[in-house]
C-alpha cells in the first residue's frame, strides 16, 4: 500500500465552527493520519497521510467542511513523507 502525504490549506469561515474537530473525525473514519491546526490568518492547515483514494474523499469533504463553516478556497499540495503519523490529531 502506497502512502501519500498532502498539505491542505482551507480558507474562509473555518475557525470557531468545529472545523478541526470534524476534520479529525472524518480523517479517522477514512483511516487517514496526520494533523490539523488553526493558522493566525484565520485559515486551517491540514497535513494528511494515507491512500490516494481516501485522501481524495477527505479533500472533497474539506471543500464543504462542517455545517457552520463556509469554505471559500482549498489549496492542495503534494509533500514528501518525512515522518509517518500513527493517528490524526489537532495541534
1-43 pLDDT, tens per residue? 689 999 999 999 999 999 999 999 999 999 999 999 999 999 9
38 included as an active-site residue: yes
Q: How far is CA 91 from CA 11, 48, 72, in A?
A: 18, 13, 22
7 included as an active-site residue: no
Residue range of the domain that includes 11: 4-90
Active-site position among 38, 72, 86, 87: 38
What is the spatial distance between Cα 87 and Cα 13, in angstroms, rounded to a whole number?
26
C-beta atoms surrounding 50 within 10 Å: 23
pLDDT of residue 5: 98
pLDDT of residue 1: 67
CATH number at residue 47: 3.30.70.100
In total, how many domains does the chain have? Answer: 1
47-82 pLDDT, tens per residue? 999 999 999 999 999 999 999 999 999 999 999 998
Active-site position among 7, 9, 20, 72: 20
**How far apart are the two ends of the chain, measured CA to CA in Å?**
27
Q: What is the pTM of this model?
A: 0.96
Query: Burial level of 7, CB count in 10 A (0-12/13-18/19+)?
Result: middle
Amino acid at each position: 500500500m502506497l502512502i501519500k502525504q498532502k498539505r491542505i490549506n482551507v480558507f474562509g469561515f473555518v475557525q470557531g465552527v468545529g472545523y478541526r474537530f470534524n476534520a479529525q473525525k472524518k480523517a479517522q473514519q477514512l483511516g487517514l493520519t496526520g494533523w490539523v491546526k488553526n493558522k493566525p490568518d484565520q485559515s486551517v492547515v491540514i497535513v494528511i497521510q494515507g491512500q490516494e483514494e481516501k485522501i481524495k474523499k477527505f479533500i472533497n469533504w474539506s471543500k464543504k467542511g462542517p455545517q457552520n463553516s463556509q469554505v471559500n478556497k482549498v489549496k492542495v499540495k503534494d509533500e514528501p513523507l518525512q515522518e509517518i503519523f500513527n493517528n490524526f490529531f489537532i495541534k
